[in-house]
Amino acid sequence: MTKPVIIAVTGGSSSGKTTVVNEILALIKDEKIVVIRQDDYYNEQSHMTMKERLAVNYDHPLSFDNDLFFNHINDLINGKSIEKPTYDYVNYTRANATETIHPAKIIFLEGILILEDERIRDLADIKIFVEADEDLRFIRRLKRDIVERGRTLDSVIEQYLDAVKPMHYAFVKPTKRYADIIIPNDISHDVAVDLIYAKIMTIINK
């Protein structure tokens, strides 16, 4: 089996990673593709009280089960299907349901700390860092967490100031140096997306 093309897409919280991935996907036709989000690999925390779960720093590298994430990526590379965990944002732990993911020709990895772990970083053929203005990222996160995840205004602000912002500068932003492509997401990025698509096709056609 030919090794799949691995594209790692990272950037700060609410920087527009999913938007960039979706724009690339819209250009790719007739290829088997899967997207794996790092958020689904937050640590299993059912043994913890809700108070303990709320105290976890979810923007720190240790909040992710990167061993499982790395093993699952390797399974897909080796032609094996995986049972990917899913995450329950209301209860701050893994959901009971898993998702069966089959091997594909193109695998997108998306998450704020995708490039922080050297093992995962080294698996990627293309590494992308999506960058956006800090105020814009905060506003996007505020809307998302309140509307989609049922959080309160005060809890979102507190988490952002206590964890999201400092962890961004400590762990997320430094990984920009590993990126092959840096996309500013506060302006149009059609050219960058076209170049990434062309690179993917070049790798596939080899």
CA distance 181 to 90: 34
Q: What is the total count of domains within the chain?
A: 1
Looking up residue 86, the CATH number of its domain turns out to be 3.40.50.300
192 pLDDT band, cuts 50/70/90, is confident
pTM of the model: 0.90
Determine contact, residues 149/141, Cβ cutoff 8 Å: no
In a domain, residue 16? The reply is: yes
In a domain, residue 76? The reply is: yes
CA distance 165 to 206: 41
Match 């020709």 to its residue by tokens: 105
Match 């794996």 to its residue by tokens: 36
**Tokens in use for 202?**
């070049």
The overall average pLDDT reported for the chain is: 92
pLDDT per position as a tens digit, 62-89: 999 999 999 999 999 999 999 999 999 8
In a domain, residue 116? The reply is: yes
In a domain, residue 206? The reply is: no
- What is the percent of the chain with per-residue pLDDT over 90, rounded to a whole number? 68
- Vertex 101 angle, CA 100 and 105, to 5°: 165
186 pLDDT band, cuts 50/70/90, is low
In a domain, residue 28? The reply is: yes
Domain encompassing residue 167? 5-201
Residue 18 confidence (pLDDT) above 70:
yes
Q: What spatial distance separates the first Cα and last Cα of the chain, rounded to whole Å?
A: 14
